[in-house]
A and B are shown apart, each in its own frame.
Chain A
Amino acid sequence: MKQKGAIDRDLIKKVLDGNSSAFEAIISNTKGLVIQIIYKMVRNHEDRKDLAQEVYLKVYDKLDGFKFNSKLSTWIATITYNTCLNYLKKKKIPILDIDKNEEKELWEKISINTFCYSDNQTEAYIFKKERSQILTLAIEKLPPLYKTLITLYHNKELSYSEITDITGLPEGTVKNYLYRARKKLKENLSLNYKKEEL
């Protein structure tokens, strides 16, 4: 961690001295995380491309103001998240687009028997089909914020506190949204199973 911080410091110093290859290194170190956030929050391909560039132009512009209160990657992820959030606001796309009635039904259905039944079916289905593809489709059906949180936690393996730093959401809210997102994923997988059976 300390070593990583020292590398970040060194890279930032070089960029501020006008070394463009140091900025190239920053891009290649962080673009995986940036792209994941953008791809999970934005659907339009051209907008994704523009946003990715906009993020790094902002990073370059604000780099001299980076205070090392967090990892450089976390700071860049925060800029990415906020840029996407502004984009969604501008396009009037809801970040948590969930049908309230559907959601209520879903979260009230905590009967363990129902859950286990669908769970075993889901598990069998997952094993039977190409699991990864099905899951990708199920993730795509989630609202932008859930998709992002799932990716940051499970795919990029960030801690709750790092996710809190990036999104600005309280830790309890992050945990709650993650719980709902996983539950929603299971529900989507079960629905998929039922359609296949028909």
Chain B
Amino acid sequence: MKIQHLCDKDIQEYIFDTSNCSSDIIEHINSCEVCKKVSESYLLLSGELKSQPEPVLDFNLTKLVLDRLTLPKKEPIYNYLLSFIIIMSIGITFFTIYIFRDVFSNIFSANITILNYFIVSITILISLFLGFDMYRSYYKKINMLKY
């Protein structure tokens, strides 16, 4: 059994970490009024800390978070309009090709010149650039949406 009074660390260990507390410390506190008093004051402090009031929020956290999570939904009418425009564009393209089919067949079958190859190459090149640019701006926007 320890003859001197316990240090503060030992007393805290007895109160808050009893399973790791040595039997010497337990014996001392049980027999020493001074150390017992100190340990009781720690118990009092612990009780007071436990009963400290929780912070009260002056804003609705759930609403704020959910508002930021919900992405704006497109209006159904907008979706229909977009689909309509895409279908119409495809229809007009095929209709134009059908109407001018003779002209197109002449261009690509009868008189294949260097000029034709040049026009087709330029068209493919511009399409590639536009496609790449669209792909890049799409990912840029997606990354901006991520927080």
* A110 engages B7 (CB within 8 Å): yes
A139-B52, A157-B50, A182-B45 as given contacts; A49 in contact with B38, CB under 8 Å: no
B46 CB–A CB distance under 8 Å: yes
A115-B8, A154-B49, A155-B49 as given contacts; A122 in contact with B41, CB under 8 Å: yes
Q: What CA separation (Å) do A158 and B44 show in the bound complex? A: 19
> Which of B5, B12, B38, B68 is in CB contact (< 8 Å) with A179?
B12
B residues 1-33 touching A (CB-CB < 8 Å) = 5-9, 12, 16-17
**Category for how many chain B residues contact A:** 35 or more
Q: Which residues of B contact A179 (CB under 8 A)?
A: 8-9, 12
* A178 engages B16 (CB within 8 Å): yes
* B38 engages A119 (CB within 8 Å): yes
> In the complex, how many angstroms separate the beta carbon of B116 from the nearest chain A beta carbon?
52
Among B58-66, B74-82, B132-140, which stretch is in contact with chain A? B58-66
Q: What CA separation (Å) do A120 and B9 show in the bound complex? A: 18
Count of chain A residues with a beta carbon within 8 Å of a chain B beta carbon: 47
Closest to B44 in A: A123
> Which of B38, B57, B59, B68 is in CB contact (< 8 Å) with A57?
B68
A66 CB–B CB distance under 8 Å: no
* B55 engages A35 (CB within 8 Å): yes
Among A2-10, A67-75, A128-136, which stretch is in contact with chain B? A128-136
Can you list, as one digit per residue, whether each of A84-109 has a CB less than 8 Å from chain B (1) or not (0)?
00000000000000000000000000
A57-B69, A135-B49 as given contacts; A112 in contact with B62, CB under 8 Å: no
B105 CB–A CB distance under 8 Å: no
Task: Pull 19 A–B residue pairs with CB atoms less than 8 Å apart, ordered by A.
Answer: A27-B62, A39-B55, A49-B64, A56-B61, A56-B65, A58-B147, A112-B6, A112-B35, A119-B37, A119-B38, A123-B41, A132-B53, A135-B45, A136-B53, A139-B52, A179-B8, A179-B9, A185-B45, A186-B45
Residues of B within 8 A of A (CB): 5-9, 12, 16-17, 34-35, 37-38, 41-42, 44-46, 48-55, 57, 59, 61-62, 64-66, 68-70, 146-147
Residues of A within 8 A of B (CB): 20, 23-24, 27-28, 31-32, 35-36, 39, 49, 52-54, 56-58, 60-61, 110, 112, 115-116, 119-120, 122-123, 126, 131-132, 135-136, 139, 150-151, 153-155, 157, 160, 175, 178-179, 182-183, 185-186
